Amino acid sequence: MSQRSIAALILAALLVSTGCAFYSAIDQGDKSKREQATPVPLTAEPSHHLALENEYVRVFKVEVAPHATTLMHQHDRDYFWVAIGAADVTNAPAGRPEQRLHLADGEAHFSPGRFAHRAINNASTPFRNVTVEVLKPQRESAAAQGAKDKPAAAKKEDARGLEVGRGAMTEVLMVSDGVKASEVTINPGAMLPHHTHKLPHLVIAVSALHLKNEPHGGPVTEVHMRPGDIRWVPAGVSHMVTNIGNAPARFVTLEFP
C-alpha cells in the first residue's frame, strides 16, 4: 500500500473519530438539559439542608454559593422563607418568567407549593435563608386553595406593630395557612414582659441572639443563637425574655395552630 493510501486511511479514521466525539457531546448536552429539566425533591437539592422535622414543619437551612444556581427542585408544600442577610437572587420557576429579587436581611415571604424552580445567586456573597414547609395548612376558602397554583408571596394580613415593652417590638408580618409570622426586635437591655405561648412556634434568628430566658417556675437560662439558627418552642411555655447582648436582637417567629 502506498504512503498516500495510508495517509488517506488515517485521515478518514480521524474524521470518523471526530464526528463520533462531536455527536457524543451533543447527546451528552441533550441528556444534561433533560436531567436539569426534571425537578429533584427538596431533600435531594444540595443547597437545602434539613434541620428540623416534626408534625407541624419541615425546616431547611439553605445556602447557595456566590454566583451559583440550585438544581431545579420541587416544592410540594406551602412554605415560609426568611432571608438571612441581604441578597440579590433570581427566582426561575419552571414554565414561568424569571423574577429578580433584592432582599433585605430578615425579609420574610410565603409561597404556595406545587411548583418547581431554580434559585440563582447573583451576588458575590452566599444567599442564605431558612425555608419552613407547613405540614398542616389551614385554608379558609376555596380561593385560598386555588392560590396554591401561583408561587407568589402572600399579602400582609393583620399587619400591625405592637409595643410589648420598653425597647421591644413585635410586628405581625402575615397570616397564611393559619400560621402567623411575626418579627420581634428587642433592644439591648430591654425585655419582653412575662407572657404565655398558647400555641407552638418556631424561632428563626435574624441577628445574633444573646437572651436571658426566665420561665415561670423554672430556672433562669441564657439562649445564644447565630443568624439562621432555629429553635422549636412547644405550646404552654410561660416566660420573660431579656436581651443581654450589645446589639438589637431580631428574630422571626412562626406560630402554628
How does pLDDT run across 59-82, given as a tens digit for each residue? 999 999 999 999 999 999 999 999
Examine residue 139 and state whether it is found in any structural domain, yes or no: yes
Q: Which three cell numbers stand for residue 228?
A: 439562621
Pairwise CA distance, residues 166 & 145, whole Å: 41
Cα–Cα distance, 26 to 33 (Å, whole number): 11
Segment 134-163 shows an average pLDDT of 54
For residue 232, give the CATH number of its domain. 2.60.120.10
Q: What is the DSSP letter of 105?
A: T
CA dist., res. 38 & res. 61, Å (int):
23
**Residue 106 confidence class, pLDDT cut points 50, 70, 90:** very high
The overall pTM is greater than 0.85: no
Report how far residue 166's alpha carbon sits from residue 187's, in angstroms, rounded to the nearest whole number. 9
Domain interval for residue 235: 160-255
DSSP per-residue string spanning 74-138:
EE-S-EEEEESS-EEEEEEETTS--EEEEE-TT-EEEE-SSEEEEEEE-SSS-EEEEEEEESS--
Express each pLDDT in 193-226 by its tens digit. Answer: 889 999 999 999 999 999 999 998 889 999 999 9
- Whether 25 and 125 map to the same domain: the answer is no
Instruction: Establish if 155 belongs to a structural domain.
Output: no
Kindly state the average pLDDT of the residues 76-105.
97
pLDDT of residue 36: 54
Asked if residue 107 belongs to a domain, the reply is yes
Beta strand 73-75 with 40-41 is parallel
Q: Which helix (H) or strand (E) holds 37?
A: helix 3-37
The mean pLDDT of 179-205, rounded to a whole number, is: 95
Looking at this protein, which amino acid is placed at residue 96? R
Domain count, the chain: 3
Contacts of 87-90 spanning 24+ positions with Cβ under 8 A? 87/121, 87/123, 87/125, 87/127, 87/128, 87/129, 88/121, 88/122, 88/123, 89/64, 89/119, 89/120, 89/121, 89/122, 89/123, 89/127, 90/119, 90/120, 90/122
Nine cell digits for residue 225:
443563637
Residues 168, 79 share a domain: no
The answer on 250 and 164 residing in a single domain is yes
The verdict on residue 46 lying in a domain is yes
User: HSE (CB half, 13 Å, CA atoms) of 47?
Assistant: 21
